[in-house]
Copies of this chain bind each other. A is one copy, B any other.
């Protein structure tokens, strides 16, 4: 079994690799883990020794089948707990990520199965992210950041990035939540801000915000 810390590394590597396809570099891991490259190299060796990743010196790491499976189980737990916190305990969607970071490491296969059942086998978490099933199968939806699309685009908000509480509070305030239709009216060249229409309301959002809104392709 991977340790608490190893689970966090595997999750980060999985996400950085685009669900396991590309190789991930040491510095990329260091950045998202808020740690130093030297620490990452140490951990990489441990994960490699346990066959969770394959490692070629100076050329980054690739997650293995086994590592991917572990990562997906942690992601499943994280998203189920977030759903529980919002649906059952009535948390706001901006308050749950940090708590789920802890809950995702509780070890008990039965627990997570019963939790899944209790929640009615949800398919997405409060931020629109898909929840892997008990076999680690996950629906990989086609979607892209709103920033980068051309003016005239119309689509549906599929998910939003969940790690910044202030962003989520803001998105909730302007009604930019998963399921809503969003139109891209125009782009401002100077600061790359976007003129959009969400839920019938016209407003301007910054580049940073637009990068965190994921819409249908």
On A, residues with C-beta under 8 Å from B are 85, 88-91, 95, 98-99, 102-103, 106-108, 110-111, 114-115, 118
The CA-CA distance from A39 to B95 in the complex, in Å, is 38
Instruction: Say whether, besides A88-B118, A118-B89, A99 and B95 are in contact (CB < 8 Å).
Output: no
Q: Find the residue from A85, A91, A108, A110 having the highest chain B CB count within 10 A.
A: A108
Copies in the complex: 2
> Which chain B residues border A98 with CB–CB below 8 Å?
108
Q: Is the CB of B99 within 8 A of A111?
A: yes
Q: Shortest CB–CB separation between residue A134 and chain B, in angstroms?
A: 15
7 new A-B contacts at CB < 8 Å, known A91-B114, A102-B107: A85-B111, A89-B111, A89-B115, A91-B110, A99-B108, A102-B108, A103-B103
> Which chain B residues border A102 with CB–CB below 8 Å?
106-108
Q: Shortest CB–CB separation between residue A1 and chain B, in angstroms?
A: 13
Q: Is the CB of B114 within 8 A of A89?
A: yes
Q: Is the CB of A106 within 8 A of B99?
A: yes
> Which chain B residues border A91 with CB–CB below 8 Å?
110, 114
Instruction: Say whether, besides A88-B118, A118-B88, A95 and B110 are in contact (CB < 8 Å).
Output: yes
Instruction: Say whether, besides A89-B118, A114-B91, A106 and B108 are in contact (CB < 8 Å).
Output: no
> Which chain B residues border A89 with CB–CB below 8 Å?
111, 114-115, 118
> Which chain B residues border A90 with CB–CB below 8 Å?
114
Q: Shortest CB–CB separation between residue A74 and chain B, in angstroms?
A: 15
